[in-house]
Chains A and B, each alone.
Chain A
Amino acid sequence: MQHMPDDLPLATRLLLTLAQLQGSSLDAVSLPRLGKHLGQSASVLMRELSALGDAELGGARGPGWVQIHNVEGHWRASLTEAGRAVVLELQAGFILSG
C-alpha cells in the first residue's frame, strides 16, 4: 500500500492501517500494535473504534465497519465485511487521485 497522507482523518487512517495489518489472513490486530502504527494512545483508539463499530452513539448507530474482540484476554480489532468494502473504496480513491 502506498504511503498515507498525514492529514487524512484518523478514522480513515485507522481503517486503512487495520486492513494493512490484517493482510490477507484477516487475523484480528492487537490494540497496542494498531496504536503503535497510528501513533495514538489507547484512549483515542478505543473512542475511534467505538465510533466505527456498531454501537449507538448520540442517537445514531455506528456504521459497523470494525469489531473489537477479547481473545484470551487480549483486545483485538478487525474489519467487518462492510469495513473491508469501505477500505477497497478508499484504496481505489487513493489510486485514482494518487
Chain B
Amino acid sequence: MHEQKIAFYKGPAGGWGALNSVKNTLLRQDIPLKGAKTLLSANQPDGFDCPGCAWPDRNHASTFEFCENGVKAVAAEATARRAGPELFARYTVSELAAYSDYWLEDQGRLTEPMVYDAASDRYQPIAWDEAFAIIAKHLNAQPDPNQAIFYTSGRASNEAAFLYQLFVREYGTNNFPDCSNMCHEPSGTAMREQLGVGKGTVELVDFEKADAIFIFGQNPGTNHPRMLAELRAAHKRGARIVSFNPLRERGLERFADPQDKLEMATLGSSPISTHYFQLRIGGDLAALSGMVKHVLEQEAERGDVLDHAFIAEHAVGLSELQASVQAERWETLEEASGLTQAQMRAVADIYLGAQSVIACWGMGITQHTHSVATIQMINNLLLLRGHIGRPGAGPCPVRGHSNVQGDRTMGIWEKPPAALLDRIRDVYGFEPPRADGVDAVEAIKQMRAGQGKVFFALGGNFAAATPDTYETWKALQRCDLTVHVTTKLNRSHVVHGRQALILPCLGRTEIDMQGGQPQGVTVEDSMSMVHISMGINPPASPHLLSEPAIVARLAHATLGARSRIDWLGLAQDYALIRDEIEKIFPDFANFNQRVAAPGGFRLRNTASERVWQTATGKAAFFAHAVPAETAQQRAQKRVPEKRVFTLQTTRSHDQYNTTIYGMDDRYRGVYGQRRVLFINAEDLKALGLRDGDWVNIQTVWDDGQERRADGFKLVAYDTPRGNLAAYYPETNPLVPLTAVAVRAGTPASKSIPVVLELTKAPAPDAAHA
C-alpha cells in the first residue's frame, strides 16, 4: 500500500531528493546500499552502458555518472526478486492480467522460457529448442512472410538488432515496427529531407560552447536527468536557456547536482532556464513561426540579420518560407501558441543575440499531427543564421531508450533505403524484400484485420506502449502466435495470441558468456557515439540467453539449410557480428578496433560537416502554415455543449517508458498514485469542480468509437487553460489509432481532444490498484 498525497514540491530537481529516491529504489529491490555503486558500474569504460536513456556520457572513459533514473533502471534489472515457474503455477494468466503494470514488473526477473497452455490458462516452462521449433513452425507456415511482424525495443544492442534485421529480411519481410515509430520518427522524417541526416548534429562538447539553448517539448529532469548537468553548466557560464513547455516542470527550473559536494552540503541549487514559456499544447509551430517572422522582419529592416553567406552556399527555399511566414497574422500565431506577440519577439531577440544556438526537443514536439512541420520550423530557425555545422550550434533531438538510435542505424526500419537492401543482397547472396513493411500503428491495424498472424517482440511492452489500448489488445489476441523476448513480466505477456511464448533474456548488466569468453555489445547514444557495453553481474538465472543468441538460434531454426549465414557461429563471438556490420555499413569501418578504444567512436554526421545529402544537395527551408483547424477545434464543433480540452500523455518521475518503478511523481508533487489529471485552476472553477474531484475522460473523435479512461483525480497544476496532462499507459486507451503525425505515423499522444465528466471517488482498494 502506498500513501497517497498531493504535496507541492519545493526542492530543486536532483539533490537530496534524488539521493533519497535512489536509496528507496535500491532497498525495494533488495540491493545493499553501500557498495551498490560497484554493482551499478554503469558507463565505465569496461562496464555496461546504462540501460536507461540515450543521453551521452560526459566522459564515458572515466567515472560513474550519477543519475537517479539510471539507477532505477539498473536496480530494476539487478533486483534480487525472481518471477520463476512457481509464480506462473500460482496464478492463471487471467489472474495475472488483473494486476497493475507496476505489480507485474515488480515480481522480478523471469528465469525460464515459458509457453502458454490454453487448457490451464497458465504459462508453463518449455525447453529453448522446443520454443524455437514452435516459432519456426509458425513462421514457415505463413503463405506470405508479410503476415509476420517483428517489433524491436530501443534496448536491443547493435549486434542483436543487426542479426534480427538480417534474419527477418532473409525470412522475407520488412515488417519492423519499432519504438522509434512511437517517438522520434518525425525527427528522422523531417531532418532527412531537410538536412540529409535523420539524427541530431551536435555533440556534448557543443553544450560548452552554445550561448543559447532552446528546449522544446522536453522534460529532462525526469527523462534525461544527466542533461541537467550540461544545462546547469551552460547557465553558470551565462548561456541563455529558453524552455517551451505547457507544464511547469521543476527539472527545467532548478537543479542540484548530486555530484556537486558543495551544492549538496549547502542545500543549494542552480537555476536551469533563464526564460520559461508555457505555451499551449501543440503551440510550438506557431511560436516558432512567430520567431521566424520576427527574425525576417528584422532582416528586412537591418539587412544584416541572416547569415547570407551560409544561405547562399548551403540552403534553398528561403523565399517560400518568407512568403509563408509573412502571410501568418500575429493574432493567429498568438491564438495557436498561447504566447503574446511581445513574447515571441522577445524570444526571437534572444536567438538574434546569440552567436551559437542549440535547439533540443522531445516527445512534446514529436507526438502531434503536425510534428514534422514543427521540427522543420525548428531547423528553419537554425538555418537562418547558419546554426548548423559549426561549434556550439545545431539541432538536438533527444532520444529516449538507450539504443533506439542505434537500432535504426542497424537497419531496423520498415522503410529501408534501396542502398541497404542492395548491400545485403551483394554480401549475403539473397534478395531481400523490397516492399515497405508496417510501422507500429499499421502493425496494429494489420493484426486487428487478421492479416498479421505472428507477432515477435525483441523487448518492449507493445500492449502498453501503443495507442488505442483496447484495439491493440484485440489485435494481439487475434494472432496465432505472440512471442516476447524480455527480462521481466509485463502487460504484453498477459494479453497474448492463441499461442504465446515468453523468452527471458540477459540484461545489459549481466555477463554474457559465449564460446567461453565474456562478450560485449555496442550501443549508439543520442549524439551518435558508439561504445561497448559489458555486463559485470552473474545472470539472474542460468536459463537465460542473450538477445543475439536468441535471434541466431531462431534464425537457425527457421531458415535451416535455406540460409548461407552461419547464425550459430556468429552468436559465439560478437566480434564476428561486428565484422558483418562493417560489411554492410561503411561508417563502421574497423568497427572492432575503433570500439575497443575507451569511449568508442562517433559515427559520421554529414550535416555537421555541412555536407547535405538531400535531393538538392543543399539544406532546405520548408514553409509550413500553422494548422487552420486543430483536432481540438474540430472536436469542439462536434460537441458544442461541452468544453473540449487538449490532453497530453506524459511520464511520471518513477517511470521509464512503460516501466513503472514506483508510484510517485515527486517533482509534480504526486505521491502513491497515478490516476491523476493535471488541470488549470481556472478551468476547474469554470467547470464548477474542485481540486481532488474525480472525473472520467472521454475522447472526442470522428470515427464514432467510444474511447474512455475512467476514474482520475483532478489536480490543479500550472498549465495553460484548456490543457490537461495525465500519465500513460493509463491514458493510452484515449489515443485513436488514426491520430498520427502526418508523414511519420507517430501517435499524436500529446494532443488528444477530450471531455470530462464528474464521477464518484473510487472505493479505497480500487484507488490503490
Q: Which of A47, A53, A73 contacts B518 (CB 8 A)?
A: A47
Quick check: is A90 within 8 A (CB to CB) of the other chain?
Answer: no
Quick check: is B564 within 8 A (CB to CB) of the other chain?
Answer: no
Decide: A46 and B539 in contact? CB cutoff 8 A: no
Q: Which of A1-9, A12-20, A37-45, A79-87 contacts B (4 or more CB under 8 A)?
A: A37-45
Distance in Å from the Cβ of A86 to the closest Cβ of chain B? Answer: 18
Q: List A contacts of B513 (CB < 8 A).
A: 51, 57-60
Decide: B511 and A47 in contact? CB cutoff 8 A: yes
Decide: B33 and A57 in contact? CB cutoff 8 A: no
Decide: A46 and B41 in contact? CB cutoff 8 A: yes
Segment 56-89 of A: residues with Cβ below 8 Å from B: 56-61, 70, 72-75
Q: Which of A43, A59, A60 contacts B47 (CB 8 A)?
A: A43
Decide: A46 and B35 in contact? CB cutoff 8 A: no
A46 to B34 CA separation, bound complex (whole angstroms): 16
Decide: B539 and A43 in contact? CB cutoff 8 A: no
Interface size on B, residues (CB 8 A): 26
A53 to B511 CA separation, bound complex (whole angstroms): 13
> A31 — nearest CB in chain B belongs to which residue?
B38
Q: List A contacts of B46 (CB < 8 A).
A: 41, 43-44, 47
Number of A-B contacts (CB under 8 A): 71
Distance in Å from the Cβ of B143 to the closest Cβ of chain A? Answer: 37
Decide: B538 and A70 in contact? CB cutoff 8 A: no
Q: Which of A47, A51, A53, A56 contacts B542 (CB 8 A)?
A: A56
A57 to B33 CA separation, bound complex (whole angstroms): 26
With A43-B47, A55-B538, A56-B542: A73-B35 Cβ-Cβ less than 8 Å: yes
With A73-B33, A75-B38: A47-B535 Cβ-Cβ less than 8 Å: yes
Distance in Å from the Cβ of A80 to the closest Cβ of chain B? Answer: 16
Quick check: is B611 within 8 A (CB to CB) of the other chain?
Answer: no
Quick check: is B44 within 8 A (CB to CB) of the other chain?
Answer: yes
Decide: A43 and B41 in contact? CB cutoff 8 A: yes
Q: Which of A46, A58, A61, A70 contacts B537 (CB 8 A)?
A: A46
Quick check: is B32 within 8 A (CB to CB) of the other chain?
Answer: yes
Decide: A42 and B38 in contact? CB cutoff 8 A: yes
Quick check: is A22 within 8 A (CB to CB) of the other chain?
Answer: no
A46, A55, A59: most-surrounded residue (chain B CB, <10 A): A46
Distance in Å from the Cβ of A60 to the closest Cβ of chain B? Answer: 8
With A41-B45, A41-B47, A43-B44: A70-B536 Cβ-Cβ less than 8 Å: no
Quick check: is B20 within 8 A (CB to CB) of the other chain?
Answer: no
Interface SS majority for chain B:
loop
Segment 375-419 of B: residues with Cβ below 8 Å from A: none
Segment 497-530 of B: residues with Cβ below 8 Å from A: 511-516, 518
Q: List A contacts of B511 (CB < 8 A).
A: 47, 50-51, 57
With A57-B511, A58-B514, A75-B39: A47-B534 Cβ-Cβ less than 8 Å: yes
Interface magnitude class on chain A: 20 to 34
A43 to B64 CA separation, bound complex (whole angstroms): 11
A12 to B47 CA separation, bound complex (whole angstroms): 21
With A47-B518, A51-B511, A58-B513: A70-B38 Cβ-Cβ less than 8 Å: no
With A57-B513, A75-B38: A43-B538 Cβ-Cβ less than 8 Å: no
With A50-B511, A51-B511: A70-B518 Cβ-Cβ less than 8 Å: no
A72 to B542 CA separation, bound complex (whole angstroms): 28
> B32 — nearest CB in chain A belongs to which residue?
A70
A57 to B536 CA separation, bound complex (whole angstroms): 11
> A73 — nearest CB in chain B belongs to which residue?
B34
Distance in Å from the Cβ of B638 to the closest Cβ of chain A? Answer: 58
Decide: B44 and A58 in contact? CB cutoff 8 A: no
Q: Which of B32, B44, B516 contacts A42 (CB 8 A)?
A: B44
A44 to B511 CA separation, bound complex (whole angstroms): 11
Distance in Å from the Cβ of B547 to the closest Cβ of chain A? Answer: 15
A43, A51, A70: most-surrounded residue (chain B CB, <10 A): A43
> B40 — nearest CB in chain A belongs to which residue?
A42
Q: List B contacts of A55 (CB < 8 A).
A: 538-539
> B543 — nearest CB in chain A belongs to which residue?
A56
Distance in Å from the Cβ of B512 to the closest Cβ of chain A? Answer: 8
Q: List A contacts of B48 (CB < 8 A).
A: 43
Segment 8-35 of B: residues with Cβ below 8 Å from A: 32-35
Distance in Å from the Cβ of B632 to the closest Cβ of chain A? Answer: 50
Q: List A contacts of B512 (CB < 8 A).
A: 58
Q: List B contacts of A44 (CB < 8 A).
A: 46
Q: List B contacts of A53 (CB < 8 A).
A: 538
Q: List A contacts of B35 (CB < 8 A).
A: 31, 70, 73-75
Decide: B516 and A46 in contact? CB cutoff 8 A: no
The 3 closest A-B CB pairs, nearest first, are A58-B513, A73-B34, A43-B47
17 A-B residue pairings within 8 Å (CB atoms): A31-B38, A41-B45, A42-B41, A42-B47, A43-B44, A43-B45, A43-B46, A43-B534, A47-B46, A47-B511, A51-B511, A51-B518, A53-B538, A59-B513, A59-B542, A74-B35, A75-B35
Which residues of A are interface residues toward B (Cβ below 8 A)? 31, 41-44, 46-47, 50-51, 53, 55-61, 70, 72-75
Which residues of B are interface residues toward A (Cβ below 8 A)? 32-35, 38-39, 41, 44-48, 511-516, 518, 534-539, 542
Extra 19 A-B pairs, beta carbons < 8 Å, given A51-B513, A56-B538: A31-B35, A41-B47, A43-B534, A43-B536, A47-B511, A50-B537, A50-B538, A51-B511, A51-B518, A53-B538, A56-B542, A57-B511, A58-B512, A58-B513, A58-B515, A73-B32, A73-B35, A74-B35, A75-B38
